[in-house]
A and B are shown apart, each in its own frame.
Chain A
């Protein structure tokens, strides 16, 4: 069998038609992207694939409802935005359902990230995720939503059912914590560059 390399638009159409090979291609090409988003929210690596799969189930189910932008060049970018939203909503839902398990972890000295070789300009994603992993869940969530997803405090407050002021406090705390965590572990290498 001779295969044709499909364009993104064709893959998208195939997914709407529930074509399995198109779904596979879609899954394989956006798995890493969604996993990148999911990892910002979850500490547990075994949960992350489940969350990615849950997101894909939602994506495949609702792909027919995705509205393509008028400009075809923006199609992929807008699709990525759409699936990113689905993934982050899925992750937030999961965190909400586990709310009872929320706890504030005090960072013990032995648990500090040990990647001392990194320098700030090349601060590796794994190091950043490591830093995020040391944030309490709510602080991490607010940081994610505000700094990375670009929501404002009003939206975050509605999303998480907390007062807007709390959202601000959480954000400030998360930044402070990240800063202190970073300073504790990597300040030397950073200051050399900075």
Chain B
């Protein structure tokens, strides 16, 4: 018994130490996929960030446009003010100048007027003053410098000053004329703005006047991560719940394709095959529920969720397989050279029905930004870039069904 015990334990030890399990197919793929998934997760926020940036940029841009319009108006009025203040300044400066000049004149005036003042009052003294002046002139001609001479020069200067003043006033007048056409322009722009404002008001009034329901049809080419264009067609109906906000739903035929590359290299064994990539195509009926916000009368944005009822789901797997091929070529010396080589080949197989994702519904988050253009009294045509983000990855290969495209819409 003792011997048996020893043998038993020894046997167990030996067996376990030398034991190796068999390698099951697909273990490496699962392992590398797990590693890739970690990287994939880091890519996800990038996508959503890109989408959010797009949306916010759109909203910001449009709002900024409005603000700019207002700013323009504001700067215009500011400009008016500036011009007004400038004119004020201009008118003020002569005023400021004038008193000084006038003061100057006044200062000089007595000297100028003195004789004049004296003239009416002392008409009799006229002659002596003239004589005095003549005397000065005489004195001047004599070349002698006298303090009285300064007086005479002052008189002359004051004369010049007066004429200068006149010319300045003339200039001011012409300057005053200049702002007038600008004022006219702003008035004209104000008119235009009022006009456009009236125009803006009109359709809004009309819309509110019409029924709150607005049906439209659309066709939407979309593209997934495999760069294949798929077509979506749909009908939607929106109901205005507020002036700028409406809620919309509808039904559409949606087709989404995606591909997932697993970065597989050639199998290291002769018989192995490695899953290189998976292509999937999902077709179904998409039912969205969206909130639409009219940023302006032409721009709007949609945010919502949608459920895709899967009608058809096909998946194709491409594998890299090794094949042994022998080549023989006659060599120069008469012998035949035979070479056996391992050749890599790509093989595409449809995924068996049983292992296709059994999900009947796929949820999406939808984001879009649209530009609407009137084509007739009742009809609008709209271009709407959109992005559909799946709520979770699809199938066990973690296919990413994110897709985006351009929706061409006709309202009626």
Instruction: Identify the A interface with B (CB < 8 A).
Output: 1-3, 20-21, 24-25, 27-28, 31-33, 35-36, 39-40, 49, 52-53, 56-57, 120-121, 123, 125, 128, 131, 147-148, 175, 178-179, 182, 190-191, 194
Give the docked Cα–Cα distance between A49 and B30 (Å): 10
Give the docked Cα–Cα distance between A83 and B272 (Å): 24
Pair A1/B343 contact, Cβ less than 8 Å: yes
Give the docked Cα–Cα distance between A121 and B142 (Å): 155
Most buried by A among B9, B27, B32, B268: B268
14 A-B contacts (beta carbon < 8 Å): A1-B266, A2-B342, A21-B265, A21-B266, A24-B265, A32-B21, A32-B22, A36-B20, A49-B30, A128-B15, A175-B5, A178-B8, A179-B8, A182-B8
Query: What A residues does B272 contact at CB under 8 A?
Result: 28
B39 contacts A by Cβ under 8 Å: no
The 10 closest A-B pairs by CB, nearest first: A35-B21, A25-B268, A32-B20, A21-B265, A32-B21, A36-B19, A125-B19, A1-B344, A36-B20, A31-B23
Q: Mark B11-26, 1 if CB is under 8 A from A, else 0.
A: 1110111011111000
Pair A53/B31 contact, Cβ less than 8 Å: yes
Pair B268/A120 contact, Cβ less than 8 Å: no
Q: Which of B178-227 contact A (CB under 8 A)?
A: none
Contact of B5 among A3, A33, A179 (CB under 8 A): A179
Give the docked Cα–Cα distance between A29 and B341 (Å): 22
Pair A28/B9 contact, Cβ less than 8 Å: no
Q: Which of B1-51 contact A (CB under 8 A)?
A: 3-5, 7-9, 11-13, 15-17, 19-23, 27-28, 30-32, 34-35
Query: What A residues does B5 contact at CB under 8 A?
Result: 175, 179
Query: What A residues does B8 contact at CB under 8 A?
Result: 120, 178-179, 182, 190
Query: What A residues does B15 contact at CB under 8 A?
Result: 123, 125, 128
Task: Give the distance to chain B from A137, nearest Cβ to Cβ, in Å.
Answer: 17
Pair A3/B344 contact, Cβ less than 8 Å: yes
Contact of A147 among B9, B265, B268 (CB under 8 A): B9
B141 contacts A by Cβ under 8 Å: no
Query: What B residues does A131 contact at CB under 8 A?
Result: 12
Query: What B residues does A21 contact at CB under 8 A?
Result: 265-266, 268
From A25, which residue of chain B is reached at the shortest CB distance? Answer: B268
Give the docked Cα–Cα distance between A20 and B344 (Å): 16
Give the docked Cα–Cα distance between A21 and B30 (Å): 15
Known: A24-B265, A178-B8. A40 touches B21 (CB 8 A): no
